[in-house]
């Protein structure tokens, strides 16, 4: 091919150098800035992880408080931005609303357009991390037909998110600490995953120097697809379709049949060929949450466990190293928290936002940064002459 390599899906192309996230797919290792995901998921808060991803080191107490305040300061969205939601049909998919409304933030913040200034980049980072839950909460309320709930800054980041989803004007809403911790942990597990499709999209869009909110909106669009962040929603659709434990073997056969488009959603990963360390953590949390919330005998969980057992004992999945990924169990936790499946990918997007932002900031400060511009292998017609319409057969 002369001066470039043909690499569909970029599975063997490194697009950048990065200090942020390390993955060893064979060993099932995931590190954020050197820290194992297992330790962060157990001990850290989501905002602590967000600051770690953006600044590179774990914050001390003062630094974390300052970061927390910087985020809290920006949780409100302009009232006119809320009007956008009225334009969406009542059954609009929340990812469509999120992608559109996050992109529209670019119309509100012209001061951040000068992204050559690192202070402006940081301000954009604070704004977007702060406003994602507020926009998500508004999309949720639009979806369920209830009045919007404003952010309450005395709550934690995740407590505030839960409050904006579930508080109603006529009722008291008390945040369940188990739900709050489980959701915070899920956000941590989703916070970064090096050059996945949505992050690469943010980097590619950002490499043109576009507005940061527009770049993050493009990340939301890429995340939505069922092969990426949309897989958590697809897992629950699949479990509903399978229906009963007895039907599992039939669906396993369908997944193996190359003439059948059906795939086991929540199985397989481009990089992890041993196991997904995030899935191991989530599986444990899933059982804890279901026990705590008193839904331990959820039939869909039973179905998921049986599906996993049968698949992991089947040569097809073993030979191809197809294991449950992060999305296999996350949907079951979300469901136990009372969140409809259409909304799952929005939660993934909130979690991934610090990663997108950290990668965007790293890219802009990289002296080797150039506009992203892959090449192609042209397979179309050779040069030919235009034929006037009246002479075409």
**List 68, 192, 276, 327, catalytic entry:** 327
**Residue 26 sits in the site that holds ligand CMC (CB under 6 A):** no
State the minimum distance, in angstroms, from the CB of residue 322 to ligand CMC. 5
Which uninterrupted H or E stretch holds 277? helix 277-292
Stretch that binds ligand CMC, among 73-81, 319-327, 333-341, 379-387 (CB under 6 A): 319-327
Binding residue for ligand CMC, selected from 55, 82, 181, 263, defined by CB under 6 A: 263
| Burial class of residue 225, CB neighbours in 10 A (0-12, 13-18, 19+) | middle
Answer whether 148's CB lies under 8 Å from 82's CB. Answer: yes
Distance of alpha carbon 179 from alpha carbon 293, whole angstroms:
8
Q: 254 to each of 150, 262, 264, 303, 312, how far by Cα in Å?
A: 46, 6, 9, 17, 15
State the minimum distance, in angstroms, from the CB of residue 102 to ligand CMC. 18
Q: How do the residues of the chain divide into helix, strand and coil, expressed in percent and rounded to 5?
A: 60, 5, 40
Distance of alpha carbon 57 from alpha carbon 62, whole angstroms:
14
Distance of alpha carbon 92 from alpha carbon 9, whole angstroms:
30
Beta 35-36 vs 29-32: how paired, if at all? Answer: antiparallel
Q: Which two tokens stand for residue 86?
A: 């009225």
**Residue 266 sits in the site that holds ligand CMC (CB under 6 A):** yes
Binding residue for ligand CMC, selected from 144, 152, 227, 313, defined by CB under 6 A: 227
**Residue 231 sits in the site that holds ligand CMC (CB under 6 A):** yes
Q: Which is nearer to ligand CMC, 126 or 193 (CB)?
A: 193
Binding residue for ligand CMC, selected from 30, 98, 265, 361, defined by CB under 6 A: 265
Distance of alpha carbon 233 from alpha carbon 226, whole angstroms:
8
State the minimum distance, in angstroms, from the CB of residue 98 to ligand CMC. 16
**Residue 28 sits in the site that holds ligand CMC (CB under 6 A):** no
Residue pointed to by tokens 């943010």: 202
CA atoms within 13 A on the CB side of 240: 10
Residues in the chain: 393
* Stretch 323-342 residues interacting with ligand CMC (CB under 6 A): 325-327
Q: Is 43 a catalytic residue?
A: no
Binding residue for ligand CMC, selected from 43, 270, 284, 375, defined by CB under 6 A: 270
**Residue 202 sits in the site that holds ligand CMC (CB under 6 A):** no
**Residue 214 sits in the site that holds ligand CMC (CB under 6 A):** no
Nearest 10 degrees: Cα torsion 153, 155, 157, 161: -90
Answer whether 136's CB lies under 8 Å from 161's CB. Answer: yes
Q: Is 315 a catalytic residue?
A: no
Q: Which is nearer to ligand CMC, 106 or 285 (CB)?
A: 285
State the minimum distance, in angstroms, from the CB of residue 271 to ligand CMC. 8
Give the count of residues interacting with ligand CMC (CB under 6 A).
Answer: 20
**List 190, 193, 269, 276, catalytic entry:** 269
Q: How far is CA 149 from the centre of its chain?
A: 23
Distance of alpha carbon 133 from alpha carbon 74, whole angstroms:
11
* Stretch 242-261 residues interacting with ligand CMC (CB under 6 A): 255
Answer whether 347's CB lies under 8 Å from 187's CB. Answer: yes
Binding residue for ligand CMC, selected from 183, 322, 333, 337, defined by CB under 6 A: 322
**Residue 228 sits in the site that holds ligand CMC (CB under 6 A):** yes
State the minimum distance, in angstroms, from the CB of residue 276 to ligand CMC. 7
Distance of alpha carbon 152 from alpha carbon 133, whole angstroms:
11
Q: Which is nearer to ligand CMC, 258 or 370 (CB)?
A: 258
What mask, x for binding ligand CMC by CB under 6 A, covers residues 278 to 317?
Answer: ----------------------------------------
Applying CB under 6 A, which residues contact ligand CMC?
A: 193, 196, 227-229, 231, 255, 263-270, 320, 322, 325-327
Which residues are known to be catalytic? 269, 327
């Amino acid at each position: 091919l002369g001066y470039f390599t043909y690499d569909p899906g970029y599975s063997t192309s490194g697009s950048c150098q990065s200090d942020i996230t390390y993955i060893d797919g064979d060993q099932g290792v995931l590190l954020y800035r050197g820290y194992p995901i297992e330790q962060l998921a157990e001990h850290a808060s989501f905002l602590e992880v967000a600051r770690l991803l953006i600044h590179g080191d774990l914050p001390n107490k003062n630094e974390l408080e300052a970061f927390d305040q910087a985020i809290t300061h920006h949780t409100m969205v302009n009232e006119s931005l809320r009007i956008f939601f009225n334009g969406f049909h009542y059954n609009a998919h929340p990812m469509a609303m999120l992608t559109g409304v996050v992109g529209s933030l670019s119309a509100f913040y012209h001061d951040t357009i000068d992204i050559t200034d690192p202070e402006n980049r940081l301000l954009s980072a604070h704004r977007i991390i702060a406003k994602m839950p507020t926009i998500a909460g508004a999309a949720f309320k639009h979806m369920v037909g209830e009045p919007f709930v404003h952010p309450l800054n005395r709550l934690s980041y995740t407590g505030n998110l839960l409050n904006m989803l579930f508080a109603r004007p006529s009722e008291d809403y008390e945040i369940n600490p188990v739900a709050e911790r489980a959701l915070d942990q899920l956000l941590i597990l989703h916070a970064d995953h090096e050059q996945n499709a949505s992050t690469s999209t943010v980097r590619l869009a950002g490499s043109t120097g576009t507005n940061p909110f527009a770049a993050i909106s493009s990340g939301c669009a890429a995340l939505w697809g069922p092969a990426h962040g949309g897989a958590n929603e697809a897992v629950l659709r699949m479990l509903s379709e399978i229906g009963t434990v007895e039907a599992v073997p039939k669906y396993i056969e369908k997944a193996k049949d190359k003439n059948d488009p059906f795939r086991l959603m929540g199985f397989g990963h481009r990089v992890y060929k041993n196991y997904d360390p995030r899935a191991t953590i989530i599986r444990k949390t899933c059982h804890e949450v279901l026990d705590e919330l008193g839904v331990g005998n959820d039939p869909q969980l039973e179905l998921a466990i049986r599906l996993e057992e049968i698949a992991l004992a089947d040569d097809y999945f073993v030979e191809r190293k197809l294991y449950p990924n992060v999305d296999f169990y996350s949907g079951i936790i979300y469901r136990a928290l009372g969140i409809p499946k259409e909304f799952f990918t929005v939660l993934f997007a909130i979690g991934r936002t610090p990663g997108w932002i950290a990668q965007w900031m790293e890219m802009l400060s990289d002296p080797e940064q150039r506009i992203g511009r892959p090449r192609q292998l042209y397979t179309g017609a050779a040069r030919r002459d235009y034929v006037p319409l009246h002479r075409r057969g």
